[in-house]
Structure 1
Amino acid sequence: MPFPALTHVAITVTDLEASTSWYSQLFGADPVLDEDEESGAFHHAVFALGGGTLFGIHTHTGSTATGSFDEKQTGLDHIAFAIERSELETWVSTLDRLGIAHSGVRDASYGSGISFRDPDNIALELFAPPA
């Protein structure tokens, strides 16, 4: 039996309102869910992405996220979103229009991508596998 696909990714942010606005602009859509989780442990805003994947941003009740993301620490390194190779330059233009600093297109033997960071410095990538 093959291992199942990812259904969702959830990240903790320092400023839910600012991150919701930032991701809404990046994704070109508002969250499909923006609520306190029923146990009261956290608040989340959830975006529906292509392929049925959900992307959530969280704040946790009773604690405040501090510091800046660092992929050199144990845990998450980065999140990559699947695109087609033909979409790379369009995404460069979109990120430029949104004022999001990025790496430009980087090519490697395993594919091509554009790296950038969210307001909490979380590493993100638009990635196209090799043709």
Structure 2
Amino acid sequence: MPTDPYAGLEQLYDELGEEGFSALVSSFYRRVRGDDLLAPMYPDDDWDGSQGRLLDFIVGRCGGPPRYVEARGHPRLRMRHARFRLDQAARDRWMEHMGAALGELDTDAHTRARLHAFFDATATFLLNS
């Protein structure tokens, strides 16, 4: 596996397709909706929108259609997440749910590990507290 967690991600869309990424994000959001720490960070009236934006971001980052960038411009992840208190506990909980969703993903261990490394690095990048 590359030491750069972002290297080669563009190939993953060809491996997993829209269905694979959609299943991953759906599995993740099923967990987050019931989480006492993370759920309050999401708008009650826009769960579908939040889920769609995450799907579009991941798909575009992993070599699929650039829907996120076309709709919202540069991701600016830190700016978009600055209003939330993202401390180590929130980061770890987010990774716990994403790790569980990755465990359900119908793919090989190497692909799961590459995605986990990407999510791990990105979640750490977003820490602000």
TM-score by length of 1: 0.33
Larger radius of gyration: 1
More helix as a share of residues = 2
Q: Which has the higher strand share?
A: 1
